[in-house]
Every structure is written in C-alpha cells, then in structure tokens.
Amino acid sequence: MDALAPLSFAIGIVVLLVGLIVNPLVIAPLGGAITLVAAAAWARGSGRAPSAEPVQPDATGEERFTRSRLLERATLGLGGLVALGVAVPVAGFAVLPSFLGQRRRPVDLGPIAAFPEGEYVVATFRADPQAGEISQRSAYVRNNGLVGDLPSFTIMSSRCTHVGCPTQPNGPLFPHQRRAERTSGGEVALVPAQPAGFGCPCHGSQFDNEGNRTAGPAPRALDRYEFSIRNGHLSLGRLYSVSTVDGTGAQAEIRSFALKGDGEPATGPESWLYPIDPPS
Ligand code: FES
C-alpha cells in the first residue's frame, strides 16, 4: 500500500494541473485533495520504523535498492516529467502574450456623436489592425445617453455564445446610412439598425435587445465590451461575459463574469462541470 502513495501523489499533481486549465472549480480541488491524501499516506509510510532486516550488500559490496524504493523513485520522476509537460505550456500561454505585446489594445470606434442616443448601430472594426481582416469583428452599440455627467453605452459582441457564429439583428438594417469612420485603428463601418433582438443563423439561438438569451442552445447572454471615452471618441476595451441582464440601457443590472469560452455557461452546475458535457 505504501508503494502506491507516490503514484497517487503524482496522479494528484497531474489532476490538479489539468484541473487548473479545464475546470478550476471542480477538477482542480479534486486533484488537490488526491495530492493531500497521498502526501499524508506517503509521509506516514516513510515515518515508520525501518525494517529490522539490514540491507544486504551484493557480491560487489554495494547496497541494493529495494524494489519499493526503485518504484517510488521511478514514480516520482515520471510524475515530475508529466507535471512539467502540463505546467510549461500553461505558463507559456499565460506569460508569453505580455512579452510579445499580444494583449488586446483599445479599439477606437470614432466620435461619440456618430452614435445617436437610444439607437443601435452595428460597428464593424478590426480588433487587431496588424492581424488584418482575420481580426474583423462586429459589435452592437447603443448610446444610452448620460448618467449624471457620464455617457452610458451598451456594447455587445455579435458573436454567438454557442459556438461563435455571427448573429444578426432581427429587424431592419440601414446600409444606405452607413458611415465610415477613419480612426487610429483603421476604418470602422457604422450601420444603423432597428433590432427586435438578435438571432443566430447557425443553430437558432435568440437574444433580446439587452443580449439576454431567449431561445436556442446558447448557454448565456451575448458578451459585452468594456468601454471608455478618449478625446470624445468611443473606445472599446476588454470583452466580458454576462449571464443575465435585468432592466434596460443605463439602468440595467448586469451579472458579469470574466470572459468565457464558446458554449461555456456563466452560472449554475453546468458551469462548474464545464467542459464536461452531460451525455445527450
Ligand atoms: S452558433 Fe449560434 S446557435 Fe449555434
């Protein structure tokens, strides 16, 4: 039994590291628990009195490793290699972008006067001008007017939260009123719209005018952008995820979360188990 403790310890470390990537709420604590239990068993085993039988020297006069000792060291070495194999890529993905300048930059959408109060505008822009067309994105932007002295905007990503298809406004678009704003990040196209919600053509998800999911397989509301006003221009910041929105416009109560992945629920038991999908 004592020989299994190092193996369990190594498995616990691997489960912990994998859990930190795929599910920090369920799998990572499970890995932590396995690691702790195995470590306790291991410490208890190694704290016992050593065997009364002395280790016999072999014919060459050198002491031999016992089989359990060899197994223990091999397990530790193997566990360490697996842990490194998991940890190094994770650390690389977390740290490298800041060295390579890959952090998301604010996107200038043009002067706030280009967004009439109370109306939706579909803004199409390049999230990363250096990456070119591949970084083209669309956002639904509504000017909610002033709250005190501060402008309020609702800015939602058009990307469906199911598997990422571009949603469309349910209602007329006015392409003949299209405006092209020349900004520091390139041209931004602004097309007025009068949506009665937004729909996804891929699998039929529907969202209301605040981005709440009303039908279909999407697991949460439309993601939103943080924003700021810089020199009279509307500037997009980071994306974040939303489970639900109560109320509308500047008075809305938004339940927000760090950005989730495609198909990832923001709340509830399914979000704890993600990405483990229940059998269908
Ligand atoms: S991608 Fe939108 S419903 Fe599937």
Which of 163, 222, 264 to mutate for ligand 1's pocket (most ligand atoms within 8 Å of CB)?
Answer: 163
pLDDT, position 129: 86
Asked whether residue 67 carries a pLDDT value surpassing 90, the answer given is no
* Structure confidence by residue, pLDDT tens digits, 36-62: 888 888 777 766 655 555 555 555 555
Q: How remote is the CA of residue 219 from the centroid of ligand 1, in Å? A: 10
Closest ligand 1 atom to residue 160 Cα is 2
In a domain, residue 200? The reply is yes
Residues 6+ apart with CB under 8 A from 1: 41, 45
pLDDT the model gives residue 264: 92
Q: How high is the pLDDT of residue 46?
A: 67
CA–CA distances in Å: residue 40 to residues 16, 96, 137: 17, 36, 52
Same domain for 134 and 34? no
One domain, residues 80 and 117: no
Give the mean model confidence (pLDDT) for residues 97-126: 83
Residue 261 CA to ligand 1 center (angstroms) comes to: 13
More confident call, 234 vs 31? 234
Residues 127 and 31 in one domain: no
Are both 40 and 161 inside the same structural domain? no
Q: Which of 156, 158, 159, 162 to mutate to test the pocket of ligand 1 (most atoms within 8 A of CB)?
A: 162
Give 128-153 pLDDT, tens digit per residue. Answer: 888 888 999 999 999 999 998 899 99
In terms of domains, do 248 and 223 share one? yes
Let me know if residue 279 belongs to a domain: no
What's the CATH code of the domain at 232? 2.102.10.10
Question: Same domain for 211 and 131?
Answer: yes
Å from CA of 212 to ligand 1 middle: 14
In Å, what is the CA distance from 122 to each residue of 137, 144, 172? 10, 15, 11
Residue 22 has pLDDT above 60, yes or no: yes
> Quick one: 74 and 126 in the same domain?
no
Question: Based on the domain organization, do 73 and 89 belong to the same domain?
Answer: yes
Atom number, ligand 1, closest to the C-alpha of residue 164? 1
The residue range of the domain holding 96 is 4-100
Q: Return the closest-CA partner of residue 207 out of 217, 227, 222.
A: 222
pLDDT at residue 179, rounded to an integer: 93
Atom nearest to 217 CA in ligand 1: 3
User: Does any domain span residue 280?
Assistant: no
Number of domains in the chain: 2
Nearest residue (by CA) to ligand 1, atom 3, is 203
The residue out of 64, 83, 100 marking a domain boundary is 100
Model pLDDT for residues 153-166, shown as the tens digit of each residue: 999 999 999 999 99
Domain end, chosen from 55, 71, 100, is at: 100
Q: End of a domain among 100, 123, 141?
A: 100
Q: Assess whether pLDDT exceeds 60 at residue 218.
A: yes
pLDDT band at 173 (very low <50, low <70, confident <90, very high): very high
